[in-house]
Structure 1
Amino acid sequence: MAIDPQYAGKWNIDPAHSRIGFSTRHAMVARVRGAFNEVSGEANLNAEAIDQSTVRVVIQAASIDTRQGDRDNHLRSPDFLDVEQFPEIVFESNSIDEISDNNYIVAGQLTIHGISRPVSVPLELIGIESDPSGAVRAGLEGTRRIDRQDWGVSWNTPLDSGGVLVSDKITLEFELSLVKEQ
């Protein structure tokens, strides 16, 4: 499938207007939300064939922020992300498929904690507009649930009820603003 030629080319993530967040259950009863404050990346869109386009996203793992310092430090430790040994979380696409108008599946390899696994991310194109400075911006949003155990992030502690302190299921949240290179 072809895309409008005016949108072909390189698009850069605008970190000031983008958010890659997550949520999970804590103690089986509360939802904890957080985000990564340092995100960069780009999409290279092929005008003739969207499936030959590429996406690369790099997250600085140490930028994790749940608004609670002790928890953030624990998440940075070897128990979870081990940011000293694995400073980046990286997603690199190997295909993009338009599944309906303005809805895409971006498939690729997600590397967390030194382990790469295939992941497909559904994204909705919210719109494309020119901002007051003349920059062309695209907005995309989506979510994807993963199991942190698949990436070797396995620390936990049992609860008296039989559950665990931290859920293995993590919902990733994508709110992206991309700016087209001129």
Structure 2
Amino acid sequence: MSTATSLASLTGDYALDPVHSRIGFVARHAMVTKVRGSFDEFEGKAHLDGADPAKSSVSVTITTASVDTRNEQRDGHLRTNDFLDAPTFPHITFVSTAVEQLDDTTFRVSGDLTIKDVTRSVDIDFEFQGSATDPQGNLRVGLEGSVPISRKDYGITWNAALEGGGVLVGDKVVLEFDVSAVRQS
């Protein structure tokens, strides 16, 4: 869907479908490879205004203890104060402050990302993947987006020096959003 008329038909309130969505991240490891992970528990809601995207909004809450990199030892370390400090800061949040349509299918969602009680503004470009009515009769929309952040900006500074130079964990982390949202009645 790329016309304003078809986007206007999508106006409404939506809930993120955690079973068909992924909120993940990618970080450089040992200077030579990337580690991918995701958060298994999150919830979110959005108001989409297809006729006037600037009137759209979104909010997402992620459970930090649900971090999953497919390695329990690493996941346990990520939950400590060295990284996310899940016991003290159980949630990561994102609340939009503006939405701008960049072209027929791309939308920039600006907002406040809070990790470990540090809030910074980020701009996430989302590509509209389309809409469909599922077998249960629910209208779904799909969006994909990502944004690089500096983990140091959020007070996540733990690292280890490598023998040959460099560090174990890169500062840049790319947050990834593959979203399926269901319009609410």
Q: TM-score, normalised by structure 1?
A: 0.95
Structure 1 contact 3–49 (Cα < 8 Å) conserved? no
Structure 1 contact 13–41 (Cα < 8 Å) conserved? yes
- C-alpha deviation, 1:161, in angstroms: 2.1
Query: Partners of 2:33 and 2:51 in 1: how far apart?
Result: 47
The aligned counterpart of 1:100 is: 103
The aligned counterpart of 2:67 is: 64
Deviations 1:135-172 (A, max 9, x none): 00000011211110011111001112220000001111
Deviations 1:69-107 (A, max 9, x none): 000000000000001110000000010100001110000
Query: Partners of 2:72 and 2:156 in 1: how far apart?
Result: 20
Taking a change above 3 Å as real, the CA distance of residues 150 and 58 of structure 1, as seen in their structure-2 partners, is same
> Among the aligned pairs, what percent are the same residue?
45
Structure 1 contact 124–142 (Cα < 8 Å) conserved? yes
Query: Partners of 1:96 and 1:35 in 2: how far apart?
Result: 25
Query: Partners of 1:16 and 1:60 in 2: how far apart?
Result: 15
The aligned counterpart of 2:11 is: 8
Aligned residue type for 2:25: F
Aligned residue type for 1:6: S
The aligned counterpart of 1:110 is: 113
- C-alpha deviation, 1:46, in angstroms: 3.3
Query: Partners of 1:107 and 1:151 in 2: how far apart?
Result: 17
Of 31, 34, 42, which residue of structure 1 is paired with 2:34?
Answer: 31
Aligned residue type for 2:17: D
Aligned residue type for 2:70: R
Query: Partners of 1:126 and 1:48 in 2: how far apart?
Result: 18
Gaps of 5+ in 1: none
The aligned counterpart of 1:124 is: 127
The aligned counterpart of 1:50 is: 53
Gaps of 5+ in 2: none
The aligned counterpart of 2:166 is: 163
Matches within 5 A, 1:142-161: 142-161=145-164
For these two proteins, the number of residue pairs brought into alignment is: 182
The list of structure 1 runs, each at least 4 consecutive aligned residues, that deviate by more than 6 angstroms after superposition, is none
Deviations 1:104-138 (A, max 9, x none): 00000000011000000010010011011110000
CA RMSD of aligned residues (A): 1.5
Deviations 1:43-91 (A, max 9, x none): 1123553112210011000000000000000000000000111000000
